[in-house]
């Protein structure tokens, strides 16, 4: 997740902040939904 963002970012610090924000958004979405985390979950588009 870090490498594509760092390639586009102006500095390493901005890339790190962007990645941390992305991870926080994912964590809060999981917590808000009440669904337990499943490491093997695959979102299937049907």
Report pLDDT for 46: 61
Residue 45 lies in a domain: no
Domain hosting 13: range is 2-32
Contact of 23 with 33, CB cutoff 8 Å: no
**How large is the greatest C-alpha to C-alpha distance in the chain, in angstroms?**
39
Residue 37 lies in a domain: no
Residue 21 lies in a domain: yes
Q: What's the total number of domains in the chain?
A: 1
Residue 13 lies in a domain: yes
pLDDT score of 31 more than 70: yes
Q: What's the CA gap between 20 and 35, in Å, rounded?
A: 21
Residue 25 lies in a domain: yes
End-to-end CA distance of the chain: 25
Report pLDDT for 21: 94
Task: Read off the pTM.
Answer: 0.63
User: Tens digits of per-residue pLDDT, 4-30?
Assistant: 888 888 888 988 999 999 999 988 988
């Amino acid at each position: 997740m870090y490498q594509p963002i760092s390639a586009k970012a102006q500095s390493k610090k901005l890339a790190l902040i962007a990645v941390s924000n992305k991870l926080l958004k994912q964590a809060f979405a999981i917590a808000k939904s009440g669904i337990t985390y499943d490491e093997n979950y695959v979102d299937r588009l049907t």
